[in-house]
Amino acid sequence: MINLNVNGQTQPLEVTPETPLLYALRDHLKLNGAKYGCGMGQCGACTVLVDGRPVFSCLFPVSSVGTREVRTLESLGTTERPGPLQQAFIDHQAVQCGYCIAGMIMRAQALLEQVARPTEQQIREHMAPNLCRCGTHKRILAAIRQVADKGQRLNAGALKERA
């Protein structure tokens, strides 16, 4: 039995220690925001935050989580009340197929929680590990800039406050 702190709740799971975090989230907790893309940590579709840092959950075994907090796309907002980044991605129509978007949003969330007004270079460097095969990078960057231009660091507990 492994206990994970996911989106503010302790979740007991019957998984082996080497189980990738992605499988624990999707298969056991039914949190389907993070996607299986390449399985090799090269695309970023599976990006989630562990203690505020983006990780490729397809490569991250649950035994490496320990007591740290895991956050998924589901922690940022809902369909009815999207979080600031989610809304910006909607506003800029940054989604084509949508497969990479959860990972893109989570990676951007990590940056904007740490840096209120990142430079264009900081945004591009931070987002570089995540790939969009459809080529909507310009819209993705515009969505991130929309939130960054407001100059307020994103709050890690935004969903809890809106509930």
CATH code assigned at 71: 3.10.20.30
pLDDT (tens digit per residue) in 126-161: 999 999 888 888 999 999 999 998 876 676 654 444
Of 24 and 133, the one with more pLDDT: 24
Higher pLDDT, 150 or 9: 9
CATH, residue 95: 1.10.150.120
Residue 51 has pLDDT above 90, yes or no: yes
- Residue-level pLDDT at 5: 97
Average pLDDT of span 2-28: 97
55 and 105 belong to one structural domain? no
**Confidence at residue 161, expressed as pLDDT on a 0 to 100 scale:** 44
Give the DSSP H or E segment for 9.
strand 9-13
**Nearest-angstrom CA–CA distance, 71 and 41:** 18
What is the extent of the structural domain holding 59? 2-75
Residues 88 and 156 in one domain: yes
> Taking all residues of the chain, what is their mean pLDDT, rounded to a whole number?
91
For residue 55, give the H/E element and its range. Answer: strand 53-56
User: Which pTM value belongs to this model?
Assistant: 0.91
Instruction: Identify whether the C-beta of residue 25 lies closer than 8 Å to the C-beta of residue 34.
Output: yes
Task: Find the range with the poorest average confidence among 10-19, 56-65, 132-141, 145-154.
Answer: 145-154
Number of domains in the chain: 2
For position 150, what pLDDT does the model report? 85
Residue 157, CA distances (Å) to 12, 46, 68, 154 in order: 22, 21, 15, 9
